[in-house]
A and B are shown apart, each in its own frame.
Chain A
Amino acid sequence: MIEYLSSLPSAVAQGIIWGVMAIGLFITFKILDFADLTVDGSITTGAAVCAMLIVNGCPVAVAMLAAFAAGMLAGLVTGLFHTFMGIPPILSGILTQLILWSVNLKIMGKANQALPARNYFLLVSQLNRTRSILVLAAVVIVLIAILYWFFGTEYGASIRATGCNLHMSRAQGINTAFTKIIALMLSNGIVALAGALLGQYLGMADINMGRGAIVIGLAAIIIGEALFARIARNFAMKLLAVVGGGIIYFFVYQTIVFLGLDTDLLKMLSAVVVAIFLAIPYWKKKYFTFAKTPQASDNLPFASAENPDGEVREEDGDHA
């Protein structure tokens, strides 16, 4: 039991790191409505860039900035695949992910790079969990503050509009190809930053560390949404809920480890849980159409007797 309790701080630290990654994913998955598989590669890129620079004598702050920039480049590639070359979102991400596999090997020169905290000054490390958690909490607060500001600006609003309605965005003069690229770059920059933190915390960068990252990120988003939906109404709280989701994911993970269940099965379990949660909105629509939420029912000067909801009449358009 003591062993279990002593593993919890580590669960919190790793949960926050993956929460940061999930915040990056939130930008593409939730705001842009773009399932971006680049993240499986860009998280490793972040760790690899950060580890190599620190091992070669770079200060940790510079290494992390470089990791962020490398992630943004990865996002740029995916963005160009999608907007300039017309490749569907999922495939664009997969292609960049594959490119990054080679790039990551080239960055490290091998499949694994050790980054021992005893030899270098690191921001976070397993050896000092309390300090790590405090540092990570600060990172999360600063990150959420910056994103809250950015998505409230004129430009941030145009990115949100792009994810919501392409027709409307173009009709309002928004260059939707450009906003998509910016969002993908920002997202992957944050994911790579999470990778840099993860590499420091684990004391190594490994070519396989990003495998299935998107599923863990989605799990964090979904858990956060499910558990904190009532309190997480504004944008900053939603991002905080995502980090909460990441922490809970790793609590569950540690519990499974403690109970002696086969951890090899964890990725499968995560995937199944994510799949079910992704299916819920679809099932709701398909099987529970009668339990419709009272959409647009209050305060309706435009509603009429024939059409109490002021709903759209079905009519085929002039498609010429």
Chain B
Amino acid sequence: MYDYLLHIAVLCGIYVVLSISLNLAVGFTGLFNIGHAAFYGIGAYTSALLTLAGVPWWIALIASAIMAGLFGFMVGVPCLRLRGDYLAIATLGFGEIIRAVMKNWTGLTRGPLGLPGIPKPSLFGVQFASIDMYLLLVVVVAIITVVIVNRLVKSPFGRVLKSIREDEIAAKSLGKNVVKYKLQALTLSAMFAGVAGSLYAHYITFIDPSTFTLMETVLMLCMVVLGGAGSIIGSVVGAIILVILPEPLRFISLPSSAAAALRQMIYSVSLILMMIFRPQGIFGETSTTKKFDLRKLLGMKKPKIKLRTKKNA
């Protein structure tokens, strides 16, 4: 039971990284990317193949981020000229093409047979083989992701991303290089997905193409939308809720395919209800006056200037 709870916590951590990275593109920049699972998969395969070839884990981790980022960039160059739902379809297309390659390039990926025996990571002689150690690793990575993405969006850079989401033409008229910013946002988003993929691969120690489907992206999207597009805390909470929500189903004796179907129904219905009744999500920003403020909630004083920290105040 204890291990089971830790297992859930590890999954939560991995999905926090995924939903936050997707939110960077979808929620903050307005890029409707539904091929995110492909970047996740590229990260997983890169990391798995490299470590299986004997490359140290930490190098494989960095490589998976770079590889996923590279693909993000390559997908972005042509696709970011498309708007809204077309961007969505094009990224979906790319995602499926990448998955077709995973399935069919058997010489590299062993196709549908998958890659078994992916080694558990170790760093400076510390083994992350046990589940509690792995949880520690995942939590650290998740926190780093939250911090970095938070810094990205709460900065002049993030402000430009938001302005692109709001009105591309106006952003352009203020001299912003819209295409460059969109590309950067998508590349960064893909890099974090790649890191999540690496975390997943070394945790489960087996990967195959069936993990990185459209359904997986939809799940991440649910997390983003549930928490609120454009809200970091929302993505964290959304990921945790949607990992935990269907878990009780495990304790009802159901054939596994039925359980999976039920889980997907829960996701999809919650998403539809969310879009109709609270499209901004739990923590979505609609009005700044009602904006969720953790500091206020905890009775802390709000700093006058957002970026001022103790260091230079």
A complexed with B: no
